[in-house]
Amino acid sequence: MKAALGSIITAGLVLAVVLGSVAVLVTSDDTLAPHYFAVLQRY
């Protein structure tokens, strides 16, 4: 159980880092924003 919990936490951290970098890209380059929003709206 602890191994499963650890992998869930790791996945959560990776997801947070990915979302954070996407947010930085979107706010720093307006030309990429529509593309990222289109991708995010799929999920």
Domains in the chain: boundaries: 19-43
pTM summary value: 0.49
Task: Say what the pLDDT of residue 38 is.
Answer: 76
7, pLDDT greater than 80: yes
11, pLDDT greater than 90: yes
Q: Can you tell me the distance from the alpha carbon of 38 to that of 42, in angstroms, rounded to the nearest whole number? A: 7
32, pLDDT greater than 90: no
The first and second tokens of residue 5, run together, are: 């919990």
12, pLDDT greater than 80: yes
